[in-house]
Amino acid sequence: MKKEKIILTGDRPTGRLHIGHYVGSLKRRVDLQDAGDYSKMFIFIADSQALTDNPEKVRQNVIEVALDYLACGIDPTKATIFIQSQIPELCELSFYYMDLVSVSRLQRNPTVKSEIQMRNFEASIPVGFFTYPISQAADITAFRATTVPVGEDQEPMLEQAREIVRRFNYIYGETLVEPEILLPDNAACLRLPGTDGKAKMSKSLGNCIYLSEEPEEIQKKIMSMYTDPGKIEGNTVFTYLDAFCRPEHFERYLPDYPNLEELKAHYQRGGLGDVKVKRFLNAIMQETLEPIRNRRKEFSKDIPAIYKMLQEGCEVARAAAAETLADVKKAMKINYFDDKELIEEQVKRFASSQE
Ligand code: TRP
C-alpha cells in the first residue's frame, strides 16, 4: 500500500461559512494546500449528511459554501473540491461498513448523542442520521485520507472511523488507511464562541460573523459583543483577539501597546475601556475579512463557472473513490467476475461432484 499523505475534510452546507470556520479550519486548509507536504487534498460539501436539515436550504447553500472556499483561497487547481451526493461509491462503502459497527457503539458516540438532543430527535431518530458516523468513515477512507483537519467536535467521528478501518483490515486484510485528526493549533481557534459569548456560533442564535459580512455589520456585531469587564478568561473580545491578532496589528492600529500580553495586563488592572479594545478588534477583523469578501464578490460574478469547477471536482473524486471501492470488494471477495480463481475453483468443485 502506498503511504501517500492525503488530506480530506468537508463541511455541511447548512449556511454560509463564518469566522469560526475560518480560524478553526479554512485558514489551515489554505496553509496546508500551499505548503505542498501533501500529495493530494480533497475538500467536499457534505450535502447528503446535511439532508436531515431542510433540503431546500442545503441546495441553496452548496454554492454559498463553494464561494466561501474560493474566497478563502482554496485553489481548485491544487485541491479537489466536490459534492458528497455525487459520489455514489460512498453509499456503497457505507453499506459494507454497516456490518462492522454495533448499534450500541453508535449510541455511545458523543457527537451523535449531543446532536440528537440538540435537534430534539429523541422520539424518532432518522436511521440515516444515526448512522452518519459510518457514512463519514466512508467519506474519509474512500480517498485514503491520512489526515483530516477538523474541529474538536469531530474527534468522536474520527475515532469511530479509525475503529471501522481497523476492523475492516482485521477481517479482510490490510486494505484501508487509518486516518488521523489534525486539530487547530491555536487554542482560541478550537471553538470560537459566538459574539454573544455563547459556546457555539450558530445562525439560529444570530451570533455569527459571516465571511461575506459587510463592513458596517461586522462593526455593529463587534461593538455589541459580550464582554466581562476586568476579566480575560471567557471574555469574548479577548478570545477573538487570541484567534486573530498578530504583532503587526499593534503597530498599525494600537501602537501604545507592544503586544497582546500588555493589552490584557492593562485591561485586568483596570482603566482600559471595552470600546477601545473593541475598536482594535474591529480594525483587525475588517482587515482580515475585506480581501475575502472582495474575492467572494468577484467569484460570484460567474456562477456557472463555479458549478463547472464543482462538476470537474466530482469527476476526479469519483475516480479516486471507485479505486478504493474496487480494493474493498476485492478484499471482501465480492468481485466475482474478476476473480479467475473463484471460477476455476467452482469448475473443479462441480466437476468432482459429477464423477
Ligand atoms: N461532520 C462534518 C461537520 O459537521 C462534515 C463531514 C462529513 C466531514 N464528512 C466528513 C468532515 C469527513 C471531515 C471528514 O462539519
For residue 237, the CA-to-ligand 1 centroid distance in Å is 28
Kindly give the distance from the C-alpha atom of residue 157 to the centroid of ligand 1, in angstroms, as a whole number: 8
**pLDDT tens digits, residue range 286-337?**
999 999 999 999 999 999 999 999 999 999 999 999 999 999 999 999 999 9
Burial class (CB in 10 A: 0-12, 13-18, 19+), 103: exposed
CB 82 within 8 A of CB 317: yes
pLDDT confidence band for 285 (50 / 70 / 90): very high
Residue range 175-189, pLDDT digits in tens: 999 999 998 877 767
Which residues does a 6 A CB cutoff place in the pocket of ligand 1? Answer: 8-12, 46, 49, 136, 139-140, 148, 150, 154
Q: Which residue's CA is minimally distant from atom 2 of ligand 1?
A: 11
The confidence score (pLDDT) of residue 2 equals: 54
Check whether 259 has a pLDDT greater than 80. Answer: yes
The closest alpha carbon to 30, from 84, 82, 83, 76, belongs to 76
Please report the pLDDT score of residue 120 as a whole number.
80
Amino acid at 170: Y
Please tell me whether residue 83 adopts helix, strand or coil conformation. Answer: strand
Compute the distance from residue 220 Cα to the ligand 1 centre, in Å.
31
- Predicted pLDDT of residue 158: 97
Task: Give the span between the Cα atoms of 194 and 198, in whole angstroms.
Answer: 5
Contact 1, 143 (CB under 8 A): no
Q: Whose CA is nearest to atom 3 of ligand 1?
A: 11
CA-based diameter of the chain, in Å? 101
Task: Give the model's confidence band at 229: pLDDT under 50 very low, under 70 low, under 90 confident, else very high.
Answer: confident
Is the pLDDT assigned to residue 355 strictly greater than 70?
A: no
Q: How far is the CA of 136 from the centre of ligand 1 (A)?
A: 6
Mean local confidence (pLDDT), 223-250:
91
User: What residues pair up with 147 in beta bridges, in sequence order?
Assistant: 7, 180
For Cα atoms 168, 169, 171, give the angle at the middle one, nearest 5 degrees.
65
Instruction: Ligand 1, residue 151: give the atom nearest the CA.
Output: 15
Q: Which atom of ligand 1 is nearest to the CA of 139?
A: 12
Give the residue-averaged pLDDT of 159-165. 98
Handedness of CA 326, 328, 331, 332 (dihedral sign): negative
Query: What are the φ/ψ torsions at residue 147 (nearest 5 degrees)?
Result: -140, 125
Mean pLDDT, to the nearest integer, of 126-148?
95
Q: Give the mutation target among 7, 8, 12, 45 for probing the ligand 1 site: most ligand atoms within 8 A of CB.
A: 12
Share of the chain above pLDDT 70, in %: 99
CA of 9 to the centre of ligand 1 (A): 6
* Predicted pLDDT of residue 205: 85
pLDDT at 117 over 60: yes
